[in-house]
Structure 1
């Protein structure tokens, strides 16, 4: 149940810097006195609706209890227990300094194999993910924790989950989403970002989440190699080199697994050459971000349809 109430307060006092909650205790009695008699009368006269509200409240309470129980299962008691809980498919790094350590979440075992061979083992860890992960926007907290891929990510990070998250226990200060540069890769990245946004938001707020920018094309011209991230870069360079003459050899990568480990390191893993996009949400964008994620990733298909219809003409890149 949602209601908007307009209350005039002479000396308002708010809680915290965000000022999202009124701290004047006297307002509670005013509002209760004005609303409670009418609400009780309505509930007594509308027993069907009242029963539905009570049932919903009980279900919500049970869901909160189940979520707290599930969260307690992933809490880390000590550094030793965190090590024992690491997923078996994680290729960890040797450094114990979180500020230097990087975790790459890689799409598929094939790409994961190339990344494991090409990485710098001192500070780069690789966690392969199998298939598309669960859509955390449409799932309960217990179901999210029961998902193998998301559970592996949570265990690898070691900082807890949801309300129990503790960034002082975070094992990597760079968490990099390394997916294929195609629509499937973008979809998996979106699912992972939804999970981090909904259940591990402090990682985004503190700037720990990144998107890798692997090349989509390899272009060779007059014994020079170029690595291109997307179709726009490809068209721009092809037009430029065509004016110089000579043969242009162009190769599109179907996936990261096609890359030799050295090429993957040189183009995507090497800190001195790679391009990373840091995921940040500015204060003025928080409301629109919440709305967009709810509409695109939530259960209400009509909101997604409305978004697609409204923005269809603004699409620049379409991968079918």
Structure 2
């Protein structure tokens, strides 16, 4: 491999052992090329950039551990990507379990590296040991050069297979076989690793290209997170090379100032803390067995925040310098500690009037924050590491934020005291603005709704103006409406009857849906529009509850209603405002109940009915022949209120949307135009049905 970029002398000593014995092999490489998206997220530009991040992050982990202070990234004119660090260098000695060199283990074995043990890295971004080997598997050629122990070592790979190339570039003749080769002497004191690779264009999409702005943004971000680290990016793909250097000594305080887009109300506030927690993890013992072991983890918390005069909120979160754009337990803990600290600070002032309260959005208004935590072996959701999942982190971060920010708000320093007062006044003003805007919107919405002639006459509305408290019951049939009207609490429970089964909107056009009287009535009553123009803040009710018979027709009606909300009012489901009532199936009437014993007992399934019947018989409690409800209309108002409508006693099933793509497929199968998948589903389910329970 050419040595155009010199490997400089390491700036750190080597206090911790780092050799091939630090590496741990877990499994092999083959599945990566078959399912690359499982490891890098996708095979488009995002996946291509993810491969580059994996190599850069390995170099950054060395700098984070105190080894090396410079990284060079070169985008070559021949399509090669080169990343050079000046750290310790990948181990070149033999790993005892595999008999391979440390370089070959790291670059060819999944879940192999120095980040599984406790001796090589205290905290790192590459935690799964798959990054370098995945990049190798997805490259048409990868060359590695290591400077270590006074020598230079080289090795080459094609699609993850070791071998040698007869010339430059990925198209050169390749001969499989061979291992790590000593290529000569290294300059005195020089250590480090240089990896050059060509992405395999048979794996990545044709339009997948490296994004220079994204690379610059990531390099700049990393230079903030690792103060003193110098990252040089050279783009040699054009006529003249473009060189950008990123080097910041100010750390995340400087990063916070860089991110903020409005004039400051406060200086950058630094919240730092440290704690430990116990975690049970599987550990590979000497016999090769995975044994659950309690280990003590160290957690370092470092947060920089600054309030400004604006209204936008900017939050960047990181775990061991790896960005977590979707947050995780560290951001949850930060939010909780932030709100608690502000709440306690306000308790010592007279800024809040009686009955007023502050919400999280009020606190976050105009706030720019960089949240960083450092710990060994954090639990990420997937190799792309976008969400931190370690549970204990939330508790520790919340405690650190609450304690440290509490000190800031109670500081007696003149500048801090004045800034803290200004921030609290801003937060209280934001709270009052939010409340007044909501009151005005609700009043206007109710006024428009009540004055509008579009609301159906059959709607039995409630009296309350509190949207969060109001409930809309969509009731099957006029017969059940009469009973429900006597059973409801008219203060906050509204009723809308529908006649039989509404239109299947999965197969119908939006025009047909709006022409359908029942669908139009539901959309008008909810009051928030439909489709792309749906505004959940305009909804007239905090809960929408489907109340249908506990039979197959009732289930069909609930499915049709769920389809309507999924297609045209999806935010109601996404934010947990749609429910299904659970009426009972059976009623036991005790003939001689004891003092304090309920006279009527209800069961909600056949299995529960059998258990309750056996229990009463065993205890010698006498009862009349249980009543089987076939519909809501068979209940009187007291029974319906007690079992289905009274919030203190009822059971509701919330409709949730954990997997939007999966839900789309299920709705299409059940309600779409294609008959074959639905027939297959019904036939398959018929074989599992107990014929004795069919009501014919």
For the aligned pair, the TM-score class normalised by the smaller chain equals 0.7 to 0.9
User: Is 1:182 matched up with 2:551?
Assistant: yes
1:198 alignment partner in structure 2:
567
- Check if 1:82 corresponds to 2:282: no
Compute the displacement of 1:308 (Å): 2.0
Instruction: Give secondary structure in 2 for the equivalent of 1:120.
Output: coil
**1:309 correspondence with 2:683:** yes
The Cα of 1:301 is off from its aligned counterpart by 0.9
Cα separation, 2, equivalents of 1:96 and 1:12 = 53
- Secondary structure at 1:135's aligned position in 2? coil
1:181-238: per-residue Cα shift (whole Å, max 9, x none)?
A: 1111111001100111111111000100001011111112343321111212111211
Q: Is the contact made by 1:182 and 1:319 (CA closer than 8 Å) also made in structure 2?
A: no
SS in 1 for 2:583: coil
Q: 1:277 aligns with which of 653, 656, 666?
A: 653
In the TM superposition, residue 91 of structure 1 has moved relative to its aligned partner by 0.5
Mapped to 2, the partners of 1:311 and 1:260 lie a distance apart of: 35
Counterpart in 1 of 2:374? none
> If the length of structure 1 is used for normalisation, what is the TM-score?
0.74
Deviation of residue 319 (structure 1)?
Answer: 5.3
Which deviations, in whole Å up to 9, do the C-alpha atoms of 1:33-87 show, x marking residues without a partner? xxxxxxxxxxxxxxxxxxxxxxxxxxxxxxxxxxxxxxxxxxxx96544221211
Bigger Rg, which one: 2
Normalized per residue, the structure richer in strand is 2
Q: Structure 1: where are the runs of 5+ without partners?
A: 15-76
Alignment correspondent of 1:293: 667
Gaps of 5+ in 2: 1-43, 45-203, 215-443, 594-598
- Give the aligned partner of residue 163 of structure 1: 532
Q: Is 2:468 the partner of 1:119?
A: no
Paired residues of 2:616 and 2:622 also in contact (CA < 8 A)? no
Change (3 A) 1:13 1:229: farther
Residues 6 and 269 of structure 1, relative CA distance in 2, 3 Å threshold:
same
CA RMSD in angstroms comes to 2.2
| Higher relative contact order, structure no. (Cα contacts within 8 Å, ≥ 6 residues apart) | 1
- The aligned residue for residue 236 of structure 1 is 611
Is the 1:102–1:124 Cα contact (8 Å) retained in structure 2?
yes
Q: How many residues align?
A: 253
Matched residue of 1:248: which SS?
Answer: coil
From the two aligned structures, give the one with the greater helix fraction. Answer: 1
Q: 1:156 to 1:10 in 2, by over 3 A?
A: same
Partner in structure 1 of residue 412 of structure 2:
none
Q: Distance in 1 between the 2:612 and 2:550 partners?
A: 18
- In the alignment, is residue 226 of structure 1 matched against residue 619 of structure 2? no
Q: CA separation in 1, counterparts of 2:695 and 2:585?
A: 13
With the length of structure 2 as denominator, give the TM-score of the two structures. 0.35
Matching residue of 2:463 = 94
**Which stretch of structure 1 is more off in the superposition, 168-177 or 246-255?**
246-255
C-alpha deviation, 1:310, in angstroms: 3.4
**Partner Cα distance (2:681, 2:213) in 1:** 38
1:109 matches 2:478? yes
